[in-house]
Every structure is written in C-alpha cells, then in structure tokens.
C-alpha cells in the first residue's frame, strides 16, 4: 500500500464547513484540495481549486475526476450516481455503496438489520396507510421520518395518540408521488451518543472515544468527550458496534455511528454518516489527531493516527447570531473558536463551534 504522493490532490464533494476543515487538514499534510460544489461556500474559501457545477453534470464530473487523485465527500446527499460515475475514473473513499446506504433511511436500516446491528423497531412507509398500520404495530408515540434529505429534525413528524396519519405524512412528504419514509418505534433512552471510527485501506480501524450528544430544538447543541456517563463496558460495546459497521460497509475514510443509550446500557444505532461528523469536532483540539486529519490519512493510504482524547473536551455549536459573540470565547484561555466563514447569519444555522478543553 503506497500512500498518495506529497502534493497529491484530494477531491471533495461538497462546499460546506466539513470540506473547509478537511481542506485545512489536507494542507497540513502537504496535499492540495479541489472542491466540487454547486455554489461557493466555506470550503471554496480555503482553496483556489474548485469546480462550481451541479453534481449531475457529467462533463463537470469528468473534468473534476481528471484533476484529482482521490475523492471523498463532506456530506451524504451527493447523488449516488455521481459517486458511481467518479468511481469508474478515480478512487472514491468511502465508496458509492456507503454513500447510497447512508443517504437513505430505508437502505440504512435494512443494512443495519442484515448486519445484525440493533436499532429501534421500524417499518417502511410509502403513504398514510403504511403509517397507520405501523403505528398500530409499533405503538404510539412513534416517529415518522422521511427516507431522504432529512437532518437536524427536519422531515420528521411525531405520531401520537390522536395524530392523523395523513397529516403526519403530509408533514414529511407533501404531495410528492414517490415519497418514502420509515416509522420508528419510540425508544426510551437515557442519553444520545456517537462514535467516529476511521478505517484505512488495509482494513485497520481506529475509534474515537464514545461521546455524549445533547440537542436543542433537534439540532446538536453540545458534545461531551469522552462521554461522562459511559461506563467502560458501554464505551467498549459502542466502539465495537461502530467497527462492525465500518467493516460491513467496507469504509475507507470515516463513519460516524449515532446511538441511543438506555438506562441499562442497552445500545441501539440511530443513524450513520460516512464522513466527518459534527459530534467529532471536539477532536480538533481535544484529541491527539483530529477527525479531519484522520480522514485525510485514511483516504490517502497513510497510517492512521492516535484517536485518544488528550483531555475532557466540550464542543458547543454556534447557531445563528451566537457566532457574533466572539469576545466571550476569544477571552477564554480554554476555548478554541472555529468560525466557518458563512456570510449569511440565519437562526438555527451552524455558523461555527467552540471547543473548551479542560486543563489538567
């Protein structure tokens, strides 16, 4: 296994903040980054090499493939057809199968079930009749989620006692004739968690510590690393589950595994993301090697780094105008501000994050 040569070009699908931070990590290791995105964004601000084109523009995809040595993705909603088109011309890591699995909840949950990975009980829905049937089977309350393009609580509807399944369906699907979703049984969990795992070209895996995630209005608000409520047994089992997922999907790069943790330590996988993840941002200042450097190491065939925490770290997302309160964080000697450079400040929009590293 020969690592990508110094000065090689890493193609990144997507122009958001994850691409921006991947760009910084690649530059640190002596690589260049070329971003493909429909429009300018945080990632295109940090590299002169970018292609502004739709992901389904095959002529642009071909030019992009010719300009790069390896391709990765900074978000999961790149059309799987685009990843497959590129994979016929240049290595795509993680590959098209992983991307297609993680961008569709039906495919994702089917994969987890076939891999023997525990999840909430669930069923596939293609209309109000399916929602009604599954609500009877799974019980109320349950949660209806769109199969595709849902994030940060968007594309979801609670189905409670008295909820009309047609109203719930309209919330996630409108009147689209080909809409699809999943209905999940309610999980009585104590806290939410995630594990980011890296897997190299040789199949070697490295796990970051299990972290605790706390949400506000369905958006990740803060991550505590390592998870303060995790017993050694829970942490070890969560990491083992994450490694099983990475192996089963043949990941080269990163995958984040989000979990529900029960009061008895029971673990159920909620969602997957085959890319760097918001809950891994703490690693930029709290781990020996950040998730972004780890991703670059993995996809370029370099040795994986040490993912252990150097100190307990709290990551706080800066949403909307919270990013404007810069002085608060810049005056804190334990805080590390990461501003994504987004021009438009909107309520609920992820504008940056802060890592607060506990000093020994």
pLDDT digits (tens, 9 = 90+) for 216-248: 988 999 999 999 999 999 999 999 999 999 999
Domain total in the chain: 3
Q: Does 152 score more than 70 pLDDT?
A: no
Task: Show which of 169, 185, 201 is a domain's final residue.
Answer: 185
> How far is C-alpha 62 from the chain's CA centre?
26
More confidently predicted of 350 and 173 = 350
The CA distance from 230 to 15, in Å, is 35
Same domain, 295 and 321: yes
> Angle at CA 26, nearest 5°, toward 48 and 239?
140
How high is the pLDDT of residue 104?
A: 94
Average pLDDT of the chain is 95
Question: For the ranges 165-169, 206-210, 279-283, which has the lowest average pLDDT?
Answer: 165-169
Residue 39: give the domain boundaries: 9-102
Q: Using pLDDT thresholds of 50, 70 and 90, give the confidence band for residue 179.
A: confident
Same domain, 237 and 177: no
Q: Is residue 212 part of a domain?
A: yes
Closest CA to 157 of 149, 148, 165, 145: 145
Closest CA to 291 of 301, 312, 306, 302: 306
Same domain, 139 and 254: no
Task: Show which of 69, 102, 135 is a domain's final residue.
Answer: 102
What percentage of residues in the chain have a pLDDT greater than 90? Answer: 92
pLDDT tens digits, 259-317 = 999 999 999 999 999 999 999 999 999 999 999 999 999 999 999 999 999 999 999 99
Same domain, 137 and 199: no
CATH number at residue 21: 3.40.50.20
Task: Show which of 164, 185, 206 is a domain's final residue.
Answer: 185
Helix (H, G, I), strand (E, B) or coil at 239: helix
Same domain, 47 and 145: no
Q: Using pLDDT thresholds of 50, 70 and 90, give the confidence band for residue 154.
A: confident
How high is the pLDDT of residue 176?
A: 57
> Angle at CA 51, nearest 5°, toward 197 and 80?
50
Q: Is residue 285 part of a domain?
A: yes
Question: For the ranges 44-53, 171-180, 280-289, 350-359, which has the lowest average pLDDT?
Answer: 171-180
How high is the pLDDT of residue 77?
A: 84
Mean pLDDT of 314-327: 97
Same domain, 203 and 160: no
The CA distance from 216 to 155, in Å, is 16
Question: For the ranges 152-166, 181-195, 291-305, 330-344, which has the lowest average pLDDT?
Answer: 152-166
Q: Is residue 1 part of a domain?
A: no
Mean pLDDT of 144-164: 85
Q: Is residue 246 part of a domain?
A: yes
pLDDT tens digits, 245-268 = 999 999 999 999 999 999 999 999
Per-residue buried b or exposed e for 156-169, using 16+ beta carbons within 10 Å of the residue's own CB: bbebeeebebeebb
How high is the pLDDT of residue 246?
A: 98
How high is the pLDDT of residue 148?
A: 86
How high is the pLDDT of residue 177?
A: 60
pLDDT tens digits, 75-111 = 888 998 999 999 999 999 999 999 999 999 999 999 9
> Angle at CA 322, nearest 5°, toward 318 and 328?
100
Q: Using pLDDT thresholds of 50, 70 and 90, give the confidence band for residue 188.
A: very high
How high is the pLDDT of residue 150?
A: 66
How high is the pLDDT of residue 175?
A: 52
Q: Is residue 112 part of a domain?
A: no
CATH number at residue 248: 3.30.470.20
Q: Using pLDDT thresholds of 50, 70 and 90, give the confidence band for residue 149.
A: confident
Same domain, 129 and 199: no
Q: Is residue 49 part of a domain?
A: yes
CATH number at residue 159: 3.30.1490.20
Q: Is residue 177 part of a domain?
A: yes
How high is the pLDDT of residue 178?
A: 74
Residue 252 in tokens: 């080269």
Same domain, 220 and 323: yes
Same domain, 301 and 204: yes
Same domain, 205 and 347: yes
Global confidence as pTM: 0.96
Which pairs with CB-CB distance under 8 Å and at least 24 residues apart come from 46-55? 46/20, 47/23, 49/9, 50/15, 55/13, 55/79, 55/82
How high is the pLDDT of residue 151?
A: 66
Strands 50-52 and 32-37: parallel
Q: Is residue 2 part of a domain?
A: no
Same domain, 178 and 200: no
Residue 253 in tokens: 């790069």
Same domain, 199 and 94: no
């Amino acid at each position: 296994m020969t690592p990508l040569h110094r000065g090689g070009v890493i193609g990144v699908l997507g122009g958001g903040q994850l691409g921006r931070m991947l760009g910084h990590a690649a530059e640190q290791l002596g690589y260049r980054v070329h971003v493909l995105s429909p429009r300018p964004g945080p990632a295109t601000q940090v590299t002169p090499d970018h292609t502004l084109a739709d992901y389904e523009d095959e002529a642009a995809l071909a030019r992009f493939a010719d300009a790069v040595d390896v391709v990765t993705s900074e978000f999961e909603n790149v059309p799987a057809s685009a990843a497959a088109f590129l994979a016929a011309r240049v290595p795509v890591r993680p590959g098209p199968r992983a991307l297609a699995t993680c961008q569709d909840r039906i495919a994702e949950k089917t994969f987890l079930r076939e891999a023997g990975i525990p999840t909430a009980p669930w069923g596939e829905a293609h209309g109000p009749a399916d929602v009604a049937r599954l609500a009877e089977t799974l019980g109320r309350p349950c949660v209806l989620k769109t199969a595709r393009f849902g994030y940060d609580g968007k594309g979801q509807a609670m189905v409670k006692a008295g909820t009309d399944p047609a109203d719930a369906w309209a919330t996630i699907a409108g009147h689209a004739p080909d809409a699809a979703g999943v209905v999940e049984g309610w999980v009585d969990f104590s806290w939410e968690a995630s594990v980011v795992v890296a897997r190299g070209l040789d199949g070697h895996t490295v796990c970051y510590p299990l972290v605790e995630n706390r949400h506000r209005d369905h958006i990740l608000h803060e991550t505590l690393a390592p998870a303060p409520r995790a017993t050694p047994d829970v942490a070890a089992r969560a990491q083992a589950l994450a490694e099983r997922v990475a192996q089963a999907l043949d990941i080269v790069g990163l995958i984040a595994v989000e979990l529900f943790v029960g009061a008895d330590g029971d673990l159920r996988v909620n969602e997957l993301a085959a890319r760097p993840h918001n809950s891994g941002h703490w690693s930029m200042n709290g781990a020996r090697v950040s998730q972004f450097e780890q991703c670059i190491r993995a996809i370029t065939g370099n040795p994986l780094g040490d993912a252990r925490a150097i100190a307990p770290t709290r990551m706080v997302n800066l949403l909307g105008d919270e990013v404007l309160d810069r002085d608060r964080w810049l005056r804190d000697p334990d805080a590390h501000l990461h501003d994504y450079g987004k021009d438009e400040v909107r309520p609920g929009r992820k504008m940056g994050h802060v890592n607060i590293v506990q000093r020994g």
